[in-house]
Amino acid sequence: MKLTRYERETIILFNEKENYANIFTYNKELIERLKDYGKKYPQMCSLKEINQTGGHTYILKKSALSIRLMSPRSEASRNKAAESIRKNRKYRKASSFEKSK
């Protein structure tokens, strides 16, 4: 059974009593991050289950979990970042061209 993008959700569950959170996700990037973290810190994170449709459930120590809320960026800040990225791309292209000579 193939799920729609809407159905492929990420759910983070934890309560105030237990020290671990359950993270259920279909997000490939998050799955990779949790897998790598679990390899590096097996005492903090482990794979609990993979369901039939590809959803992964991980158990993560709550002390390793962080939720970050970011303020919206101003138009000027976004433009400055975009310009910096463009300059960096030009520099990288020029550097890689010189190395290939």
Q: What are the tens digits of pLDDT across the range 43-83?
A: 999 999 999 999 999 999 999 999 999 889 899 998 998 99
Q: Is the pTM of this model over 0.75?
A: no
Query: Residue 54: which region, alpha, beta or left (left: phi > 0; alpha: psi -120 to 50)?
Result: left
Six token digits for residue 45:
């994170």
Q: Hunting for tokens 């009593």 — which residue is that?
A: 17
What residues does each domain of the chain span? 10-64, 72-101
User: Buried b / exposed e across 35-55, counting CB within 10 Å, b at 16+?
Assistant: eebbeeeeebbeeeeeeeeeb
pLDDT value for 91: 65
d(CA 24, CA 16): 18
What single letter denotes the amino acid at residue 77? Answer: S
